Structure 1
Amino acid sequence: MLRNYKVLKGTASALALDDDNDPHIEIRIEAGGVSYRIAMNVRSKESPHDLLYANVMNFQHAELTAELAALPMGLTDIRGDRQDLAIDYVRGGMIEREDMDVAPFQIDGPKNDLRDFIEPIVQEGIADKSIHFYAFGEAWGPENNKPDEYFGFEPGNGIHDIHMNQGDSGSFRATNAPNQDGALLIHFSDEDHWAAIFLGFQSQNWNTDANTGHPVGDNRGGQGRGEGTRRPQPIVASSLRIVAAMINPVNRPDGTEDETVTLVNRSDVAMSIEGWSLEDGEGRRQKLTGSLASGEFRTITLDPENGGPQLANKGGDIILINADGAIADRVGYGKSETANEGWTTIF
């Protein structure tokens, strides 16, 4: 069990990287005249080393976000004072195992590693103090007479374990417990828009005991399907995926523009999309027809004038709904991914 499970609220002032065998992205946070450091894991000590991540650019949970926005700056003790704020990946319904992709710490190329997903949103927060960061994890400090290792402020204060904190085996088993998972939530308060970053290790088991958080069986998988209502539906297995979108198209002379979403059928057989639909984070939906051959890519022009999805340039979600009404795929994007007008965003 984590000893000091807390949430830190504050504004970002600096960013650093410790490029060693156990790398973290280090974020300096200011809160009520006190400096803190968020240490975010971006590589696992154990194999496989690449982390699981979900970058939710249109995070919606009205009850939780309202409670967070009302918190004072600084650290709030979740276990002692605010147990209602606790995050549990497995039971809370906030995130599913299949929502998460795998990404390395850093490799060449755009938008293909954790640095590409985390650092831009931190840099945006450094430039805009109306953006508030909420880091859930294990707090340390104050470390009197000991300057911070990366930013030099004193006393040293901070929060780490910003990732799933259950389902571990071996040397990390002692820190398992339910209702203590880490995450980084970001509030763009001027727009009242939220984003969230969820991290986990591939070695962690998503089938955990509800009392101890220890793994149940040897299978690392599990869907993390919870009892809560923070997400209306889990993502179901599907060979159809959203692979690209034209979110910020160039306006035509008549003032209109064509937003598009591209799907691919990854399977070796044709797939019908009769009764399927595309939806945005606000629930606007567009019906699909026809079928996709094996390996086929299909670009669909959205029809917002007839109630179809609208892809907001500030960030949002694109959701693929199957004929049974279940979520077959869901992707999120941020404002930085729409900056180049007329460019296609690749997921």
Structure 2
Amino acid sequence: MPLDNYGVWKAHPKRYYVERRGTRTPHLTLYFRNNGGPEFHAAINIKSGDQQESRLVYWVNEDMSGHPLVRGLSELETGFTRLDDQEPEPGGLRLDYIRGNLFNVNTGRVLEHDITGPNNDIIDVLVPKVEQAINEGAVVYIFGEQFNTNDGIHNVHMNQGNIPRYSGDDGVFQDGALLFHFPEADKWVGIFLAFASQAVHTSENDGHAISRVTWKDLLPGDLVENSVAIHKAVVDSFGQEEDKKQSVTLANLTNRKISLARWRIRNSRWAQQVLPRNAALGAKATKVFKVPNCPLSSDGDTITLLDRDGLKVAGVSYNSQQVNAETGEIDFAG
């Protein structure tokens, strides 16, 4: 069954402790407070319990200010907010690595726990971000599962597509993460962690793996996520009927023709445009597709491309400031 008490904790990070080599299941423990009061802690995995594949995957989104998620987070009160009593749907505060377009998948790094050398393990990349947040007085938003003792939070990582041993924790829209808001610069930074053995494609019903492709398989290679990109979109009708104006431009990144028959373009509310049976992209070609059944908000939205099997191929997010005021266009290729 999914996590029991999933939510987000808005707090002020104060200090941390990291467990290095010699620890069986090491964590980075982040200590934080609400507005004064007692100290709480987040247990952040920095090594997997899978003996065959113990590495983690690390993504960082250095500029999340335009993501639709930010507005809702900024309105939260300090403390833990339970989210698993809300509907698991796009547009809400519940996180989903596969469906939320929170980061560029291809920027992920598969990292060991603690090895000799600079910038080559999870401690090397995670600790500087945590230290920066503490030193600059950032506000942290910790997504995960609250302890039964209510004194902290864990499962601050992807919580779907697990290996069979941990598949009981699978679920959609219940992923963990760390988001930092730096008030002085008004900058939002997201840190996202997954286990290298977790599946890239999961069921929309229960979060169980629906393919054998894992993050360790995906990141070094050129699989489905690298085949087609979302290059442009027109998201405002400017007085015209939406079916005559709104569109998404797709680009084939490969040297072969790709059939797009029954592929789907989806917005954050899960409205979707199913592409026709004759839809295709030539090698290195781009093409514009009208999306009358998938309205795209000029206030900010996400656009996800799924293949005919429902596997995610590409995803982007945008805010109102990225929309060209004259044409309604957004260019994601730049």
Please say whether Structure 1 and Structure 2 have the same fold, judged by a TM-score greater than 0.5: yes
2:106 aligned to which of 86, 98, 107: 98
**In the TM superposition, what is the alpha-carbon distance from 1:115 to its structure 2 partner?**
1.3
Decide which of 181, 184, 187 is 1:187's aligned counterpart: 181
Distance 1:77 1:17 in 2: 27
Pairing of 1:1-347 with structure 2 (within 5 A): 1-19=2-20, 20-32=23-35, 33-46=37-50, 47-81=52-86, 84-129=92-137, 131-142=138-149, 157-220=151-214
Counterpart amino acid of 1:132? V
Q: Deviations over 1:270-301 (max 9, x none)?
A: xxxxxxxxxxxxxxxxxxxxxxxxxxxxxxxx
Give the drift of 1:36: 1.4
Q: Given residue 94 of structure 2, which amino acid in structure 1 is its aligned partner?
A: A
SS in 2 for 1:126: helix
Unmatched 5+ stretches in structure 2: 219-223, 234-248, 255-330
> In structure 2, do the counterparts of structure 1 residues 163 and 224 end up closer, same or farther at CA, with 3 Å as the change threshold?
farther
Q: Distance in 2 between matches of 1:76 and 1:177?
A: 18
| CA distance, structure 1, for counterparts of residue 252 and residue 44 of structure 2 | 29
2:129 is paired with a residue of what secondary structure? helix
Cα–Cα, structure 1 residues 9 and 234, in superposed 2: closer, same or farther, change >3 Å? farther
Provide, for residues 148-170 of structure 1, a one-character-per-residue CA deviation record: whole Å limited to 9, x for no partner. xxxxxxxxx11111111001131
The residue type paired with residue 139 of structure 2 is: H
Q: CA deviation at 1:97?
A: 3.7
CA change 1:97–1:235 in 2 (3 A) is farther
In structure 1, the partner of 2:326 is none
Alpha-carbon spacing, 1:69–1:234, altered in 2? closer, same or farther (3 Å): farther
Amino acid at match of 2:132: E
- CA distance in 1 between counterparts of 2:125 and 2:133 reads 14
Aligned 8 A contact 2:60 2:103 in 1: no
Retained in 2: the 8 A contact 1:54–1:197?
Answer: yes
1: distance between equivalents of 2:250 and 2:182? 26
Q: Using the TM superposition, give the Cα deviation of residue 105 of structure 1 relative to its aligned residue in structure 2, in angstroms.
A: 1.5
SS in structure 1 at match of 2:72: helix
SS in structure 1 of the partner of residue 33 of structure 2: strand
Q: Give, in whole Å, the separation in 1 of the partners of 2:183 and 2:253.
A: 35
Letter matched to residue 197 of structure 1: I
Equivalent position amino acid for 2:106 in 1: E
Deviation at 1:10, TM superposition (A): 0.7
Are residues 22 and 70 of structure 1, via their aligned partners in 2, closer, same or farther at CA, if it must alter by over 3 Å? same
Helix, strand or coil at the partner of 1:85:
coil
- Is contact 2:61-2:103 (8 Å) kept? no
* Distance in 1 between residues matched to 2:213 and 2:54, nearest whole Å: 18
Corresponding position of 1:293: none
RMSD: 3.2
8 Å CA contact 2:59, 2:192 repeated in 1: yes
8 Å contact from structure 2 (residues 157, 192) kept in 1: yes
Sequence identity percentage:
29
2:30 maps to amino acid: I
Instruction: Please give the per-residue CA displacement for 1:75-120, whole angstroms capped at 9, x wherever unaligned.
Output: 0011125851011111112235423111112222222221122112
1:187 match: secondary structure:
strand
1:237-293 deviations in Å (ceiling 9; x for gaps):
78xxxxxxxxxxxxxxxxxxxxxxxxxxxxxxxxxxxxxxxxxxxxxxxxxxxxxxx
Q: Cα–Cα, structure 1 residues 327 and 106, in superposed 2: closer, same or farther, change >3 Å?
A: farther
Residue 116 of structure 1: SS of its match in structure 2? helix
Residues 207 and 224 in structure 1, CA contact (< 8 A), matched pair in contact too: no
Deviation at 1:127, TM superposition (A): 2.6
Taking the aligned partners of 1:88 and 1:119, their CA distance within structure 2 comes to: 24
Amino acid in structure 1 at the alignment position of 2:31: R
Aligned-pair CA distance for 1:191:
0.8
The change in CA–CA distance for 1:193 and 1:236 in structure 2 (over 3 A counts) is farther
Which structure 1 segments of 5+ residues have no match? 144-156, 239-324, 329-347
CA contact (8 A) 1:76 1:82 kept: no
